[in-house]
Structure 1
Amino acid sequence: MYTKLKDELLVEAYEHAVRSQLDGEFLQILKEELDRRGIIFDEAKKVATADNNKS
C-alpha cells in the first residue's frame, strides 16, 4: 500500500528539483501537487497549509 508523501517532503523534493534543474515536466507535476494541497511558501521557506491554519 502506498502512503501519501508528507507536505514537508514534497516541498523539499520540489526545492531540490529546482536547484538541480530537473526536467520541466517533473517540476510541473510537483508544482501541481503543491498547488492542489494548498501549500504556501513564505519568505523563510516555512510551509503552511490550509489545514494547518484551521487549528
Structure 2
Amino acid sequence: MGIMDQFKDKANELADQAKSAASGAKDEASERASQAQDAGQEQLQDQAESAKDEAQDRFES
C-alpha cells in the first residue's frame, strides 16, 4: 500500500468520523427541541388550568 492510499484511507476515516459526529449532534438537537416543546406545552396547560380554576373561583364567589 502506497503512501497515497494511506492518506486516502485516513481521509475516508476522518470523513466517516465527521459524519458520525454530525449525525449525533443532529440527534441531540432534535431531542432537546422535542423536550423544550414538551415543557412549553406542559407550561401552557398548567397556565390554562390555573386560569380556569381562578375563573371558577370568581364565578362561585
User: Structure 1 length as normaliser, TM-score?
Assistant: 0.32
Higher normalized helix content (fraction of residues): 2
Structure with the bigger RCO (C-alpha within 8 Å, sep 6+) is 1
Higher normalized strand content (fraction of residues): 1
User: Structure 2 length as normaliser, TM-score?
Assistant: 0.29
